[in-house]
Amino acid sequence: MKVCHVITGLEVGGAELALCALLETLQQPENSVVVLRERSVLSDRVAKLATLHHLDMNPGRAAPGDLLRLRKALSARGEHPDVVHAWMYHANLLTSLAMVGLPTPVIWGIHHSLSDLATEKLRTRAVVRGNALLSRLPTRIRYVSAVAAEQHKQFGFSAKRAVVIPNGYDTDRLKPDPEARARVRHELDIGPDALVIGMVARVHPTKDHANFLEAAAHFAGNHPDTVFVLVGEGADAGNRPLLGAIEHLGLNRRVRLCGRRADVAALDSAFDIATLSSRGEAFPNAIPEAMACGTPCVATDVGDAAMIMGDTGVVVPPRNAAALSRGWAQLAALSASERSALGLRARQRIIDCFARDAIGRRFVELYWELVTTPCEDPQA
């Protein structure tokens, strides 16, 4: 069986990393990847795992010639796939248009929630609406979370084709690492006994860094030995609005800005509490990754965050800095050994529920189901 994955780009993001993880997990089927955009950060990693083609197009301004090139890539003699698996809204839309009239089953991948759609670009919102209008074309629509599936159903996506498969995590790579903890704390000039609250998230309105910083200012007054660490694209010294907010709240000496990092597992090991301050998510990767590293979490009640954590963390309302601060205080009140025990329970939950191999098998089962089941009427 041959599966061709079509993805908008290979920047570092949740869907892109999930594709890498799936390719690393699957021994079968034979995989190829078509990227709509040009080469990027994850291209070399993907090229080691699958046959890789870049179409060098602008997905937001795709022309008929771009669709023809995509159709040719998906139906080339000798490379004709048994299943086409698209990842993210632009790839979903262009793949279905390129595949019109071809019998190959198509899976759409939805990795976002609609909780904060108003913050997205106008063109992105238009593409989401286009997905809704064409959602009877794919054979299946894979959602990364149950919350996202319900939101998209209410938005007009075909419910008949929905299937929910969460992301899977490599718990051999993501694990507690005392040496990395000490190394990262030394690098960031953080003492071994300081309480470290960290968040891994690109700077975007949906991630609500303003909520995080307001909660940090509230929390710091009663917890003077706390250091706050921000990791992700835009969380660096070049982000003047972020620096201005930190200075305005008097947090200059308390916050460490790490920017985009490849060693997220090491950073998670250095945290005492990992957190999520978002006002909208589907399946927030930062939470299970931290849990797998043995770090307990406090997260806003968005997407499937509460389901992911179960009884191993604290859930608070979004857009409520005081509640986020109280959530941190709840875990800060535990002794170091009690937080460690809670973190190990969190890790076990990821092993039991979201291990990469088990999730990979669910994708293989879906692919075989589509290959062995007669194609459905796309208008049904």
Q: What is the CATH number of the domain that holds 72?
A: 3.40.50.2000
Higher pLDDT, 136 or 123: 136
Could you give the number of structural domains in the chain? 2
Q: Which of 20-29, 37-46, 63-72, 314-323 has the lowest mean pLDDT?
A: 20-29
- In a domain, residue 173? The reply is no
Q: Read off the pLDDT of each residue in 349-374 and give the average, rounded to a whole number.
A: 93
Task: Inform me whether the pLDDT recorded for 78 exceeds 70.
Answer: no
Would you state the pLDDT for residue 27? 75
Buried b (16+ CB within 10 A) or exposed e, 226-236: bbbbbbbbbbb
> Do 21 and 72 fall within a single domain?
yes
Q: How many CB atoms lie within 10 A of CB 311?
A: 8
Contact between residue 335 and residue 156 where contact means Cβ atoms under 8 Å apart: no
Q: Provide the mean pLDDT of the chain.
A: 94
Order the strands of the 106-110 sheet from edge to edge.
Answer: 51-54, 30-35, 2-7, 83-87, 106-110, 140-143, 162-164
Q: How many CB atoms lie within 10 A of CB 10?
A: 26
Would you state the pLDDT for residue 374? 65
- In a domain, residue 379? The reply is no
For the segment 359-368, what is each residue's pLDDT rounded down to a tens digit?
A: 999 999 999 9
Cα distances (Å, whole numbers) of residue 290 to 171, 189, 299, 318, 347: 11, 21, 12, 19, 8
- In a domain, residue 377? The reply is no
> Do 206 and 73 fall within a single domain?
no
- In a domain, residue 269? The reply is yes
Would you state the pLDDT for residue 120? 79
Distance from C-alpha of 332 to C-alpha of 287, rounded to nearest angstrom: 18
For the segment 177-233, what is each residue's pLDDT rounded down to a tens digit?
A: 999 999 999 999 999 999 999 999 999 999 999 999 999 999 999 999 999 999 999
pTM score of the predicted model: 0.85
pLDDT category of residue 265 using cuts at 50, 70 and 90: very high
Tokens of residue 252, six digits? 């200059």
Contact between residue 250 and residue 224 where contact means Cβ atoms under 8 Å apart: no
Domain with 365 in it? 2-168+356-372
Task: Inform me whether the pLDDT recorded for 97 exceeds 70.
Answer: yes
**Cα within 13 Å of Cα(359), Cβ side:** 24
Q: Read off the pLDDT of each residue in 293-302 and give the average, rounded to a whole number.
A: 97
> Do 309 and 334 fall within a single domain?
yes
- In a domain, residue 322? The reply is yes
